[in-house]
Structure 1
Amino acid sequence: MSMTVAELLVQTLDQIGAHQVFGIVGDALNPFTDAIRRQEVVRWIGVRHEEGAALAATGQAKLTGRLGVCCGTTGPGANHLVSGLYEARKDHAPVLAISGGVASAKRGTDYLQEDDPVALFGDVAVYSEIIASPQQAASVIHQAIAQAYGNRGVAHISIPPDIFSAKVTASVPSIATLRPRPEVAPAAEDIAGIAAQIGEATKVAVLCGHGCHGAAAELSALSDRLHAPLVHTYRGKDILPYDDPRWIGGVGLIGGRPGVDALADADILLMLGTDYPYSEFLPEDVKTIQIDERAFALGRRTPVTLGVVGSVRPALRLLLDRLPQRSDTHFLDKVNADRAAWNSMLDEKAALDRSHDKLHPQVVARAISDRASDNAIWVTDTGEVTLWASNWLRQSGRQQITGSFNNAAVGTGLGIANGAQALDLQRQVILHVGDGGFTMLLGEFMTAVEHALPVKIVVYDNSGWGLVHLEMEGAGVPPAPGSVFPNMDFAAFAQACGVQGFRVEKPAELPAAVDRWLAAEGPAILHAIVDPDEIPAMPHIEPSQAARFGISKLKQAINSLSPFRRSPP
């Protein structure tokens, strides 16, 4: 039985369970979108910018580990995909990017919108190929999906419209192989080496990264066996509930002092499933053992005495068979005392009655955290908002957290949130985003409206690039031109789009506004006018850094520069 290449691609997506394709229609894609139209399983979700399509597909891949799919037409359509696809590249998420191509007979003639798609996707993709003949199609489609799964990244195929429409008889081979990579157990001698080194140490601390997902029970058992504090990266924050006595908190600016100090005070640090990039927050004089599926990640952030290739869950199961029960709880008790003091500080900063006239961003983040569904998906954009949303979130252990982790790109949150919500319309998805980040891809809010994706968006409005201000103050310089800007009324914008919007400026208004916002049908915006002068809680600030913050403020006063934010319009 023959079918077109477009029909073959749709059939393959159906067979592997990839039932949503995000993109913008265009002439080169007409055979593909028509093939989707003529069946009822694979769904086309039209977006307002191709970057939003790439972000939505990546958001799904990050949350599920399964293939996300996005699509853009010839030239500019495909170009726009690339920026969003760096999310998948940097966070190692499997995504298939499909681009329309110039008609085969026109290639090489500098035709309208012609570019070199293989070169264009060369840096962002683990695989990039043009399907130049119908006979290639089945094999290239298989290879692309296999590469996306096998290398955990972006695979790109460019298909000219005449190839999309061409007939083929071959099906994509070996469909059963197109699936996420399985867990891998470490070598027995490596497990023995870890157990021996732990046996010589009194105080063990564990840094848990994204690779620890699915291993919550094993992590808890390891902590109980060794009385070891479990510290997490931002990508690992949602593995256990915030109030689990083993789960001490994070490291770095997205974290706190107890976690940083616990790592520094240990005799041995176990780095599990993490390639934590901020080496300045990792201890220099602590013996470190690292376990990761990626051999290339071992030892590149901090020196390790033993690097082990393997998945965290099977590694811990094997390791627990070799570790005796310990009785000394002094180290964990000390770390938990530090944690209690740190949490008290966080609670004070998040107290609703902290101020009568200023709405502090921590208060907003905590109020939303405490009212969210027990299984909510949290999406956090990049910038100062990341610090508020992550440090004052009290996760349940059933909730999931995602965002632009390693790409750290501002403006990516809304596209990611749309993808997350499209997975399950009944599950609560909450996006924390700054005013700058939200306006970057503002049109993607209409994607949510059009497809009835009930994403709940809180916009932290400080009328400026908050983290840029923080960095400038840390360097002792006043805010630069362009670092403050006026904003629209985001609540009114939501209403203009046909959905609900809420605006809050005073702490007393917050609880009722949050309740109405979360209860709203469909997508909704909470526009929070927050104090622009708030400084995040930092684990350790050197005296020279504190001095530079003061110098910056003095320069602002002397030069009569604008404050962090202007009065709302």
Structure 2
Amino acid sequence: MASTVAEIIVDTLCQAGARRCWGIVGDTINHFTDAVRKSDLRWVHVRHEEAGALAAGGEGYLTGELAVCAGTCGPGSLHFVNGIFESHRNGAPVVLIASDVARAEAGLRFPQEVDQRKIYEQASVFCEYVSHPDQARRITTLAAQAALTRGGVAVVIVNGDMFTETTDDRLEWRVHRPSSVLRPSDDELDALARDLDSAARVTIYAGIGARGAAARVVQLAGLLKAPIVHTSRAKEFIEPNNPFNIGMTGILGNRAGVEAIDAADIMLCLGTDFAWTQFYPDARYVIQIDSDPTHLGRRAPIRTGLVGDVGATIEALLPRLKTRSDSAHLDRSLKRWAADREGYAKLACAHDDALIHPQTVAQTLDTLAADDAIFTADGGSPMVWLLRHVTANGRRSFLTSLLHGTMANAYPQAMGMAAAFPGRQVIAMCGDGGMTMLMGDLLTLVQEKLPIKLLVFNNGSLGFVEMEQRVEGLIDSFTELKNPDFAKLAEVCGISGWRVDTGPELEPAMRRWLAAEGPALLDVHVNRVELVMPPKVEIGQVASTALFGVRAVLDGRSREVVQLLRDNFLR
């Protein structure tokens, strides 16, 4: 029986496990959306395609299953771009159906014609046109398979008139999801074991590639008496139930993580592609294990690079290792980590009635949120407060924009997560800049009945940018935001809203906000001049901040300088 290309694409996506398609209907995808209407695939109508791509990415990242978004030709598909880059860099399995103008007009600069392939090739694991009706199932199957097995976005480009073409569709193309074992050779594992046994101090650095292998990483650390430092993306699964965890390195990290790496004879990198070269030791101290050979030595020179899945590699390595008895390196690292946590807790408690520190907000949220809550956070300071003050317990899930570093990712990603997990509490930690960037999709929360809890860190500025400018010794410029009353705005949209201006209001309002039925927004006015302090404050950073102080005083802002010093250096 003949089927249209639109019907075949939708059927193939459903068979590959897709349950939702995020997008905005219109012209070149009308026949596709009509096929969705008649299928088991649910259409989720967003107000901006970027939000749809972020939602699909959030869904795919958390479930590990295929998520879908679709857009019209020209502007419709182009609006997906930033969300597609974010989702792709997170490794979320997403298929984008990007439509184009009718074939008769292609190549003639027809209105809204765009070369989709050139745009999306740089942010996809697969990007192809359906050039003939007989290709529809085959191309869509290959796209879904690439997204699921390689981890990323796959793009299927379809001319609008192609959706109406028919074919008998006799060949049974289907998605294959093999489960293979990848590890270094026996000779490589023997050499690795010798290196680890001969090193007095080993520090493990675990990244997203250790997802699913946390128990093995802990087992290895116990054998080596090695502290475990983790990347930001690995917080969710490395932090819980881990007696060897000592936090993170990098600008968002803590002293224990930085010092444990600096003091190590071997930094054993497990499934991490951490980008900041200045936080790596000299090459002779670094051994890297990654499933992708192109990642080996990509960020910094290394002594040894091995290809393998983290869990399978550790399983094969453990019998080759001797049990270490000296725990001095581990003990020092754990002591430093305890001091780091004490410092974070002190910052969270240091507030008065008239001034709410963002750390206090995050700490209160950590205490009141559900044990299995899902958290997202906007790129910038909300991401920092999540990473430092919200506890991973093995049941909670986290997603932040750490590779693409975009604004406005938090609540759109939360939309996808809430749709996929309707029984769990989903919390988006939003900056006021991020919230206002994609504010139109507040209406999607109401229309699609997505009970997301939105927490707005309202400091009236692009806070992270202000910090960057000040650390460079500059007067912060063009960062001020004139915000609405977000609580009232939420209520106009049909969302429950609360506003908090003073410390005593925070906990009771947060309790009511978390307990509210449906979507809810909590607007908290936090300290504007809060610095995100790095794990080590360098002389250059102090000098630059001092230079900002001099310039700000000369610019008539002495009160702000005093508050900056009091809140960040004198407490």
TM-score, structure 2 normalization? 0.95
The runs of at least 4 consecutive aligned structure 1 residues that moved more than 4 Å come to 180-183, 561-565
Asked if 1:553 corresponds to 2:532, the answer is no
1:150-549 equivalence runs, <5 A: 150-170=149-169, 173-177=172-176, 179=177, 182-241=180-239, 244-284=242-282, 287-351=285-349, 354-480=351-477, 482-549=478-545
Provide the C-alpha distance between the structure 1 equivalents of 2:207 and 2:560, rounded to a whole number of angstroms.
34
- Deviation of the 1:189 alpha carbon: 2.0
Query: 1:75–1:147: structure 2 CA closer, same or farther, 3 Å change rule?
Result: same
Provide the C-alpha distance between the structure 2 equivalents of 1:365 and 1:560, rounded to a whole number of angstroms.
32
Residue 138 of structure 1 corresponds to 137
Residue 68 of structure 1 corresponds to 67
One-letter amino acid of the counterpart of residue 143, structure 1: L
- Deviation of the 1:281 alpha carbon: 1.6
CA contact (8 A) 1:374 1:396 kept: yes
- Deviation of the 1:181 alpha carbon: 6.3
- Deviation of the 1:409 alpha carbon: 0.7
Name the SS of the counterpart of 1:138 in structure 2: helix
One-letter amino acid of the counterpart of residue 124, structure 2: A
CA contact (8 A) 1:142 1:172 kept: no
Query: 1:295–1:150: structure 2 CA closer, same or farther, 3 Å change rule?
Result: same
One-letter amino acid of the counterpart of residue 50, structure 1: E
Query: 1:182–1:467: structure 2 CA closer, same or farther, 3 Å change rule?
Result: farther
Provide the C-alpha distance between the structure 2 equivalents of 1:219 and 1:95, rounded to a whole number of angstroms.
29
- Deviation of the 1:172 alpha carbon: 6.3
- Deviation of the 1:242 alpha carbon: 5.3
Q: How many residues matched? A: 561
Provide the C-alpha distance between the structure 1 equivalents of 2:275 and 2:454, rounded to a whole number of angstroms.
29
- Deviation of the 1:290 alpha carbon: 0.6
Query: 1:129–1:497: structure 2 CA closer, same or farther, 3 Å change rule?
Result: same
Residue 88 of structure 1 corresponds to 87
Provide the C-alpha distance between the structure 1 equivalents of 2:490 and 2:193, rounded to a whole number of angstroms.
56
CA contact (8 A) 1:462 1:529 kept: yes
**Residues 41-76 of structure 1 deviation map (CA, whole Å, 9 limit, x = unaligned):** 211111110111111111122223332211110110
Asked if 1:55 corresponds to 2:51, the answer is no
| Structure 2, gaps ≥5 residues long | 562-571
Asked if 1:110 corresponds to 2:109, the answer is yes
CA contact (8 A) 2:141 2:175 kept: no
Provide the C-alpha distance between the structure 2 equivalents of 1:475 and 1:172, rounded to a whole number of angstroms.
61
Name the SS of the counterpart of 1:128 in structure 2: strand
Residue 99 of structure 1 corresponds to 98
One-letter amino acid of the counterpart of residue 204, structure 1: V
Provide the C-alpha distance between the structure 2 equivalents of 1:211 and 1:158, rounded to a whole number of angstroms.
30
- Deviation of the 1:536 alpha carbon: 2.1
**Residues 391-418 of structure 1 deviation map (CA, whole Å, 9 limit, x = unaligned):** 1112212211112120011112221111
One-letter amino acid of the counterpart of residue 113, structure 2: E
| Structure 1, gaps ≥5 residues long | none
RMSD, aligned CA: 1.8
TM-score, structure 1 normalization? 0.95
Residue 24 of structure 2 corresponds to 24
**Residues 97-138 of structure 1 deviation map (CA, whole Å, 9 limit, x = unaligned):** 102221222223322211222222232223322223212212
- Deviation of the 1:524 alpha carbon: 1.0
